[in-house]
Amino acid sequence: MSITLQAPFALHGRNPDVLTCIANLSNDEVFTPPELAGRMLDLLANAWAADHGGASLWADKTVRFLDPFTKSGVFLREITSRLTAGLAQEIPDLPTRVNHILTQQVFGIAITRLTSLLARRSVYCSKYANSAHSIAHGFANKMGNIWFERTEHTWVQGKCRFCGASQKALDRGEEKETHAYAFIHTDNIKTRIAELFGADMQFDMIIVATRRTS
């Protein structure tokens, strides 16, 4: 008789957030840690309450959020979590509530194909928004509200005229990602938003996390 022992996976009783693990990786993408995203959203909610007579941002089913540079989907995930709790009274049925949030309130624009899949997995629990495993229902396409299509830089004298990126560094052919942000690679952001999400789309909150370089 043979006995196979399998050691349980545990980190001092903690169940680590996978997006925290991803944020700690060393690579050419900078991922916002969930803790930082949470603190930013807390500040946002406080500012909203101050401007709206103490009203809760997370209890408003009409507010639309956009992360125009989504990578891991951490902001969209944390927003969804807060809205799910805040709208419990107004939309008591949980599946209906979550579906409303994901189809009507939470939007993103991914930077690369990989980050688009990662963001959808974080938000929809599936890399394809319209799959059988997605917690959102009613999407007609696999992108859902997290858009991605390859965007090209516009090179002028060795630099992109929209973002200033180096042509030498990023003009690498079709086999590699361009890392061009669709949101800003345009002469008219409003027109760009209309192209991606429809002519009548208006966002109340646009979430942008920046990093300081030295």
pTM confidence score? 0.83
Query: Residue 111 corresponds to which amino acid?
Result: I
Q: Is the pLDDT of residue 212 over 80?
A: no
* pLDDT at residue 35, rounded to an integer: 87
Do the beta carbons of residue 124 and residue 141 sit within 8 Å? no
99-129 pLDDT, tens digit per residue, is 999 999 999 999 889 889 999 999 999 999 9
191-204 pLDDT, tens digit per residue, is 888 988 887 889 99
129-162 pLDDT, tens digit per residue, is 999 999 999 899 999 999 999 999 999 999 999 9
Work out the average pLDDT over 47-51. Answer: 96
Work out the average pLDDT over 183-212. Answer: 85
* pLDDT at residue 1, rounded to an integer: 36
Q: Which residues of 68-103 are buried (b: 16+ CB within 10 A; e: fewer)?
A: bbbbbbbbbbbbbebbbebbeeebeeeeebbbbbbb
* pLDDT at residue 210, rounded to an integer: 59
13-43 pLDDT, tens digit per residue, is 555 555 565 555 555 566 788 888 899 999 9
* pLDDT at residue 5, rounded to an integer: 38
